[in-house]
Structure 1
Amino acid sequence: MAKGEPAAGYEQLLQQARQLLNSYKDSEALQLYEQVISLAPDNYEALCKASFLHCRIGDRYSDETSKINHFLKAKQYAQQAYALNPDDAESNYVMALSTGYEAMVAGPRQRLIDINEVKSFVDAALARDNRHAGAWHLMGRWYFKMANLNLAEKIASKMLFDGVCGEATNEAAAKALENAVAYAPNNIQYYYDLACVYAEMKDASSCRNTLQKAISLNYQTTEELELSRRCKLMLQAQQKQQKL
């Protein structure tokens, strides 16, 4: 068996895990992916999906301890997947994703280091697969974050990375998020983030159009319902502003 490829004996578990993931049953899917990893530590698909799910599940917790535990596991699995296949889009994507979430619970200096590191993995993912919606989403968020650093963060970024954020603009963020929406048109998170960038750019028309598309989607999870609520509130505020 080639390194990182699923053995036939694990295919049934993987298939069940895929079905659970597609049905938004994240915890159950993660349990099966980790079961595969316990049996085959070099199973590439299971490592990538387990990393992705630990990020998504960890983000739902309000307490820092639970977040950190999930994000550490996410990074561990991502590093294992990356070691198996460093040139693949998915391993670079989960490295970028887990590093980004790790930054959320890090101190200010480490946060900037992690955010800077995210960009290299996103670049690698998109170089391998230019239609990877998740990577375009991370790219958009990276541009937006770096384009809107506060003064202290700008000074620290200049000292640490010699002004690496120079290429980051809100316009670049919008373009990247537009690509994410184009390649995954049913993901409300991408629409919401794009609308936020348009709002920052004072592009009211594009913001309203994006929000209207977002609220027309079908929702399956509580997170999506919450994002829909935020989109409706933002749209109401944009429409009210239009009338002034």
Structure 2
Amino acid sequence: MNVSFLASLFAAGVLCRAAMADYASHMAAGDSARAAFDDATALAHYRAAVEERPGSYEASWKAARALLDIGDRLVDKKKRKEHFLQAEEYARKALSADSSGDEGFLQHGVALGRIALDTSAGEKLRFAREIRRSFEKALSLNPENDRAHHALGIWYREIATLGWLEKTFVDMYLGKVSRDEYARKAAAHLEKAVAINPAYISHRYELGETLEVLKRPREAVRQYKKALSLPVSDADDADIKAQCRERLSDLAGE
């Protein structure tokens, strides 16, 4: 066998193993950075992992999630929109890599929801149906995905609390459903999210908000108090706890 051919095979094997090691190290570093609430560093590593392995489902959806987390905290509308559009692109990459993965659909739905915030009323309606479809698909693939229940619960609550005119258009576009029914569906999904992951502070807060919509303030108070008793596990938890205190103060004054 030709020596140069053998050398080429050896070199290719070395490069392949190096690429695999680089991918794994970037993924591990990204996960560590996220655990330390350093989303910018996490994003840099997930992006590098996607470059090392363009067809990586996990690196793609994690890059999308990091972009969404960073975008949510940006004040500049243009930069925020850029992050959300990039997140949607990475989510689509994840779906192309593995259409049977629930996280790809979840991040895609969340990205569309963020993009829809800066669109016209008509565009919001078009997005609304696609967003719900993404969350429902995520749950059909993994019924125990607490964050998908969380996201779909918020979707239902937002529809339930629309203004009269907006709700009229939603009924025409999505089919007529009462506000109470939407609110009850919102609570059911958020209760499921809490049942799956009871230590996640945001689940408790959003459930409390939804219980207020349903005129169940005592139950809402229990959720806010429970959220305050939980240890911080997410970069936004301190802010969410502050919101819980505000809601408790407001409810105490009613």
TM-score, length basis structure 1: 0.89
- Which of 22, 46, 52 aligns to 2:65? It is 52
Q: Which amino acid aligns with 1:169?
A: Y
TM-superposed CA distance for 1:27, in Å, is 0.6
% identical aligned pairs: 25
SS at match of 2:232: coil
Cα distance, 1:11 vs structure 2: 0.9
The residue number in structure 2 matching 1:219 is 232
**In terms of Rg, which structure is larger?**
2
Q: CA deviation at 1:60?
A: 0.6
Please, which runs of 5 or more residues in structure 1 have no aligned partner?
1-5
In the other structure, the counterpart of 1:176 is 189
Contact 1:44 1:84 (C-alpha < 8 Å) held by counterparts = yes
1:39 Cα deviation from its structure 2 partner: 2.2
* 8 A Cα contact 1:219 1:225, kept in partner: yes
Matched, 1:32 2:45: yes
User: Cα offset for 1:90?
Assistant: 1.0
1:187 aligns with 2:200: yes
Please give the alpha-carbon distance, in whole angstroms, between the structure 2 residues aligned to 1:124 and 1:17: 27
Aligned CA RMSD, in angstroms, stands at: 2.0
Instruction: State yes or no: 1:152 paired with 2:165.
Output: yes
- 2:102 corresponds, among 89, 100, 124, to 89
Instruction: Compute the displacement of 1:133 (Å).
Output: 0.9
What is the rounded CA distance, in whole Å, between the counterparts of 1:145 and 1:155 in structure 2?
Answer: 14
Q: Secondary structure at the match of 2:253?
A: helix
Q: Contact 1:87–1:124 (CA<8 Å) still a contact in 2?
A: no
Whole-Å Cα distance in 2 between the matches of residues 74 and 164 of structure 1?
Answer: 31
Q: Identify unmatched segments of 5+ residues in structure 2.
A: 1-18
Find the counterpart in structure 2 of residue 132 from structure 1: 145
Please report the TM-score for the alignment, with normalisation by the length of structure 2: 0.86
Structure-2 change in CA distance of 1:183 and 1:55 (3 Å):
same
